[in-house]
Amino acid sequence: MEAAVIAAAVDAKRAGLPLDGDEAPPAAGTRSRKGDLPAETAWLLLVAEAYARRPAAETAGAAS
């Protein structure tokens, strides 16, 4: 879900659309990672992996 939110924000920015500034809510069942660098790092690696695995149609503009 986090990767999808990031992808939507990137697409909106590229299209010149204004960003609404709302923060995505935390995923259900996850504990707070605030102040826990190892947990935050692990989470961000999972998000990066999910972002990279998105279907080609969603990543077509990523190189521009």
What sign results for the dihedral spanned by CA atoms 10, 12, 16, 17? Answer: negative
pLDDT in tens, the chain (64 residues): 778 878 888 888 889 988 776 666 666 666 677 788 888 888 888 888 988 888 765 545 555 4
pTM above 0.75, yes or no: no
